[in-house]
Amino acid sequence: MRPLMRLLVRLRILALEHLLLRGTVLIFSAAFGLLMGWAMLDLPAPAVQLAPLVQAHIADSGASHPVTAVLLNFRGYDTLLEIAVLLLAILGVLAARGNDPSGEHHMQDTPQPVLQLMTRGLTPLMVLVAGYLLWAGAFQPGGAFQASAVLAAGVVLLYLAGLLAAPPTPGPLLRVGLTSGFVVFVVIAAAALWQGALLQYPPAWAGALILIIEASLTFSVALILAGLFLWLPNEDEEAEE
């Protein structure tokens, strides 16, 4: 009888501890959230007004939409490093997968006709929308990342419908495609170095340079995002080793 009572007491104390822990975390998160909200509403006006500064120089930047101008011209270095981070992510995924090109292309096993018909109709439209978003990024909301997200979603849809067989690891051509965005960006940034400072595009060519960079970024970021889905290490395949 006594061991049973002891066990019950111990269990009840554990449950109480669990509840106390949850309650404390909840109270702290609520307090933090409220303090953040209060701080957001209480912010003083910023000392430097950036928006008029951007608007003043937007004619030299090569894009008439301020977000694109900031992303690819005024703060182009940040975008360059972001692309490097994305490239590192896909390299990490590929490293976890291993480099065995002898495996077979994997494809969805039960293809479904309705989904395939839908995908066949939608894919050209997705490519068109991606191209439109890329082009429109210069003067209205859009840009390279949004276009590449749509393209990557199209590739994933093709794979899930059973219309695209994904290779086990990317071959040489796919690897060139994965890295081409970053390489083009670095080459153009370095070429501007010869002229002045890093990433300082000459204003006469800024529009064309931004378009070239954005186009190659769209292509390779779409491949990177789709690759994150297609080349995720598969537990079923690893179990065979």
- Which residues of the shown chain bind another protein in the complex (CB under 8 A)? 67, 112, 114-115, 118, 121-122, 125, 133, 141-143, 145-146, 149-150, 152-153, 156, 160, 225, 228-229, 232, 234-236
Looking at the Cβ atoms of 235 and 241, the one nearer to another protein is: 235
Looking at the Cβ atoms of 114 and 197, the one nearer to another protein is: 114
Backbone angles phi, psi at 225, to 5 degrees: -65, -40
Answer yes or no: are the C-beta atoms of 147 and 134 closer than 8 Å: yes
Shortest CB 225 distance to another protein, Å: 6
Looking at the Cβ atoms of 24 and 112, the one nearer to another protein is: 112
Looking at the Cβ atoms of 30 and 190, the one nearer to another protein is: 30
Shortest CB 157 distance to another protein, Å: 9
Partners of 106 in the beta sheet?
166
Exposed / middle / buried, residue 62 (Cβ in 10 Å: 0-12, 13-18, 19+): buried
Rounded to 5°, angle at Cα 132 from 131 and 135: 85
- Both tokens assigned to 230: 């297609």
Answer yes or no: are the C-beta atoms of 155 and 227 closer than 8 Å: no
Shortest CB 180 distance to another protein, Å: 20
- Both tokens assigned to 80: 């360059």
Answer yes or no: are the C-beta atoms of 165 and 207 closer than 8 Å: no
Looking at the Cβ atoms of 3 and 121, the one nearer to another protein is: 121
Shortest CB 1 distance to another protein, Å: 35
Residue 100, C-beta contacts closer than 8 angstroms, at least 6 positions apart: 168, 169
> Measured between alpha carbons, how far is 150 from 137 in angstroms, rounded to an integer?
14
Looking at the Cβ atoms of 26 and 198, the one nearer to another protein is: 26
Shortest CB 100 distance to another protein, Å: 19
Shortest CB 149 distance to another protein, Å: 3
